[in-house]
């Protein structure tokens, strides 16, 4: 809800707020923050902003790295984790100049620009999305990368490997914990706390449950909302989940594949387009009741899926999740109620207003503003160029793609199997992102350089499994 400066100032006085915390997002999708005493929060901040140096945020180098932050007053919330009474505010970043123009590389600005492009083209008024947040909660974790010691360890009392200890005896077998109840579901109250705080912060929860991974894999699914708002909501959800875990003496991770031979963490994204408050994705006579517009939108995503992966799955660990056999989609196609396809059409979403599909490959190592904006731009490209997935043999795949013979598998396209492959695709296929300047080319180039450096660094580190495999060679 939009707030005026006077309303926020009165809220600060009424609630005895001591600090104002401004939260900004870097290129990796990590919050940075800058804090001022509440008495320094005045009308000038809404006009001239708060100055800071953005050179360490990972963006492509610009002539002047001095930026200003303008708070979005509609995002205000009292931070539930700060000992000092603190008001949190998200906002936008502008380049200092005569007119203080929005910084075109700032992720939150990119999301707004993508929505504006969609409206400008007359295609839709809103992209509505709903992410599913999968994550692991452990009792403890440790990791180290040194010349003489490389490894990690973690533990959770509920994990199957602890049945031989002096345990509670309610451990769950690997890949057997989907919707498991108490007492095996020991994180139930913790998820309630997470859900309550997310709802308080304007991110209403649809439901939460234990996921299939027996070693503390959980899921919180939220209600659908406007794309740019849900990018904010994704940052909020990760902040709340991690801090709630820490508050409870535990630790939470959104790593796509934290546990060997166990299900990984995705961030499936449900989506639909609306115009004049009416869904553009429903057609009673269409396949799975999806309209031709919805099919074109799917076609655009499927056409650009390899390059999209560089933004929706931007870590080397992402591709340890995208392997067959662990409920992770690897084949390029769409289907109804089929979790083995990249795009799944939920059969339970039957009403015209709720008819949608979900993209199943993204994970939460992404920057949500960049990932959601890229998905939107790919889908819009599909509509603009009438890319029908059936014309490209991308489905519908109404059968289990994991059970195909080797010969049949060769006929079906797959998503990239490494981060380098995804970056190669982004180098070749990015014009759909740069339409109307939504994604600055300088930012795409900086992203590719940054992510290639990450991949190169990790590829040069000896892996513990290599010692087991090759030590005695």
Distance CA(218)–CA(117), nearest Å, equals: 36
Residues 77 and 410 sit within 8 Å (Cβ to Cβ): no
For residue 69, pLDDT beyond 90: yes
The single residue of 211, 262, 283, 327 carrying the catalytic annotation is 211
Q: What DSSP string runs through 446-465? A: HHHHHHHHHHHHHHTSPPHH
> What pLDDT was estimated at residue 212?
75
CA distance 366 to 27: 10
Confidence of residue 326 (pLDDT cuts 50, 70, 90): low
Statement: residue 464 has pLDDT above 80: yes
Fold for 5-58+65-103, please state it.
Answer: Ubiquitin-like (UB roll) (3.10.20)
Q: Is the peptide bond before 183 cis (omega within 30 degrees of 0)?
A: yes
Strand partners, 466: none
Dihedrals phi, psi of 282, to nearest 5 degrees: -100, 135
Average confidence (pLDDT) over 56-71: 80
Question: What residues contact 284, with CB distance under 8 A and at least 6 apart?
Answer: none
Angle at 437 between CA 435 and CA 438, to 5 degrees: 80
Each residue's pLDDT tens digit, 439-455: 999 999 999 999 999 99
Which of 136, 193, 268, 344 is the catalytic position?
A: 268
pLDDT of residue 274: 97
Of 160 and 265, more confident: 265
Distance of alpha carbon 91 from alpha carbon 107, whole angstroms: 11
Give pLDDT, residue 402.
63
Domain segments of the chain as ranges = 5-58+65-103, 126-461
- Helix (H, G, I), strand (E, B), or coil: what is residue 339? coil
Q: Is there a contact between 463 and 469 (Cβ–Cβ < 8 Å)?
A: no
Token pair 């109404």 is at which residue? 398
Alpha-carbon distance of 105 to 437, in angstroms, equals: 10
Q: Is the pLDDT of residue 65 over 80?
A: no
Residue 211 known to be catalytic: yes
Distance CA 172, CA 214 (A): 5
Average pLDDT, the chain: 91
The answer to whether 302 and 389 have CB atoms below 8 angstroms apart is yes
DSSP codes joined into one string, 200-253? HTT--EEEEEE-S-TTTEEEEEE--EEHHHHHHHHHHHHHHHHHHHHHTT-EEE
- Residue 185's pLDDT is 81
113, 191, 270, 360: which one is catalytic? Answer: 360
157 flagged as catalytic = no
Strand partners, 217: 136
Question: What are the pLDDT digits (tens) for 270-288?
Answer: 999 999 999 999 999 999 9
Which of the following is catalytic: 358, 363, 381, 430? 358
Residue pointed to by tokens 């289990």: 400
User: Tens digits of per-residue pLDDT, 197-222?
Assistant: 999 999 999 999 988 777 889 999 99
CA 14 to chain centre: 35
Domains 5-58+65-103 and 126-461 share a fold: no
pLDDT > 90? residue 289: yes
Q: What is the mean pLDDT of residues 32-55?
A: 92
Cα(270)–Cα(72) distance, rounded to whole angstroms?
A: 26
d(CA 207, CA 395): 30
Distances (CA, A) of 109 to 44, 78, 227, 426, 449: 21, 24, 12, 21, 22
Domain 126-461 has CATH 3.30.590.10: yes
Active site residue 219: yes
**pLDDT tens digits, residue range 344-396?**
998 888 788 889 999 999 999 999 999 999 999 999 999 999 999 999 989 88
DSSP 245-291: HHHTT-EEE--S--STTS------EEEEEEETTEESSB-TTSGGGB-
Collect all residues with Cβ–Cβ distance below 8 Å to 348 and sequence separation of at least 6: none
List the catalytic residue out of 134, 232, 262, 381: 134
- Tell me the two tokens of residue 13: 């006085």
- With 90 as the cut, is the pLDDT of residue 320 above it? yes
The angle, 0 to 180 degrees and rounded to 10, between the axes of the packed helices 368-384 and 305-312 is: 160
356 is catalytic: no
% residues pLDDT > 90 (the chain): 73
Q: What contacts 453, CB < 8 A, 6 or more positions away?
A: none
Residue 290 has pLDDT above 80, yes or no: yes
The set of residues, in sequence order, having a beta carbon less than 8 Å from that of 112 and lying 6+ positions away, is: 92, 228
Which band of pLDDT confidence, cut at 50, 70 and 90, is reported for residue 64?
A: low
- For residues 414 and 332, the answer to whether their CB atoms sit within 8 Å is yes
Spatial CA neighbour of 334 closest among 413, 410, 432: 413
Residue 241, phi-psi category: left (phi > 0), alpha (psi -120 to 50), beta (remainder): alpha
pLDDT digits (tens, 9 = 90+) for 103-152: 999 999 999 999 999 999 999 999 999 999 999 999 999 999 999 999 99
pTM: predicted TM-score of the whole model, two decimal places = 0.95
Catalytic residue among 79, 126, 132, 327: 132
Is 132 among the residues known to form the active site? yes
> Which among 163, 213, 208, 187 has a CA at the least distance from the CA of 321?
213
- Could you say which of 219, 262, 363, 381 is catalytic? 219
Binning pLDDT at 50, 70 and 90, where does residue 461 land?
Answer: very high
268 is catalytic: yes
Is 339 marked active-site? yes
Residue 60 binned pLDDT confidence (cut-offs 50, 70, 90): confident
The whole-angstrom separation of Cα 211 and Cα 134 is: 8
């Amino acid at each position: 809800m939009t707030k005026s400066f006077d309303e926020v100032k009165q809220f600060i006085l009424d609630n005895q707020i001591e600090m104002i915390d401004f939260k900004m997002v870097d290129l990796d999708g990590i919050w940075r923050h800058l804090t001022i005493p509440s008495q320094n929060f005045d009308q000038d901040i809404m006009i001239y902003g708060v100055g800071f140096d953005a050179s360490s945020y990972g963006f492509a180098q610009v002539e002047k790295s001095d930026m200003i932050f303008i708070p979005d007053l509609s995002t205000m919330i009292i931070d539930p984790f700060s000992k000092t009474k603190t008001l949190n505010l998200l906002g936008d970043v502008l380049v200092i100049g005569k007119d203080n123009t929005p910084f075109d590389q700032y992720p939150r600005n990119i999301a707004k620009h993508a929505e504006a492009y969609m409206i400008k083209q007359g295609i839709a008024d809103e992209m509505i999305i709903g992410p599913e947040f999968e994550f692991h909660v452990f009792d403890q974790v440790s990791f180290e990368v040194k010349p003489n010691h490389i490894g990690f360890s973690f533990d959770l009392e509920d994990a199957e490997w602890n049945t031989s200890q002096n345990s509670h005896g309610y451990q769950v077998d690997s890949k057997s914990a989907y919707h498991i109840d108490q007492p095996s579901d020991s994180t139930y109250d913790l998820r309630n706390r997470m859900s309550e705080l997310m709802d308080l912060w304007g991110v209403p929860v649809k439901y939460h449950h234990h996921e299939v991974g027996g070693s503390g894999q959980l899921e919180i699914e939220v209600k659908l909302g406007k794309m740019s708002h849900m990018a904010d909501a994704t940052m909020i959800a990760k902040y709340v989940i991690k801090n709630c875990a820490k508050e409870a003496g535990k630790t939470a991770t959104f790593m796509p594949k934290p546990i060997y031979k166990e299900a990984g963490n995705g961030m499936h994204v449900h989506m639909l387009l609306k115009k004049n408050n009416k869904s553009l994705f429903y057609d009673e006579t269409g396949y799975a009741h999806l309209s031709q517009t919805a099919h074109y939108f799917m076609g655009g995503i499927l056409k650009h899926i390899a390059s999209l992966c560089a933004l929706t799955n931007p870590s080397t660990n992402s591709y340890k999740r995208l392997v067959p056999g662990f409920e992770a989609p690897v084949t390029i196609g769409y289907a109804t109620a089929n979790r083995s396809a990249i795009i799944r059409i939920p059969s339970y979403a039957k009403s015209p207003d709720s008819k949608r599909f979900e993209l199943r490959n993204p994970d939460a190592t992404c920057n949500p503003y960049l990932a959601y904006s890229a998905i939107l731009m790919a889908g819009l490209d599909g509509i603009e160029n009438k890319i029908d997935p059936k014309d490209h043999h991308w489905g519908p795949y109404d059968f289990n793609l994991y059970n195909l013979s080797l010969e049949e598998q060769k006929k079906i396209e797959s998503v990239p199997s490494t981060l380098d492959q995804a970056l190669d695709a982004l180098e070749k296929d990015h014009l759909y992102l740069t339409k109307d300047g939504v994604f600055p080319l300088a930012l795409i180039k900086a992203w590719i350089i940054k992510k290639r450096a990450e991949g190169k660094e990790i590829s040069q580190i000896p892996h513990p499994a290599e010692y087991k495999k090759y030590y005695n060679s």
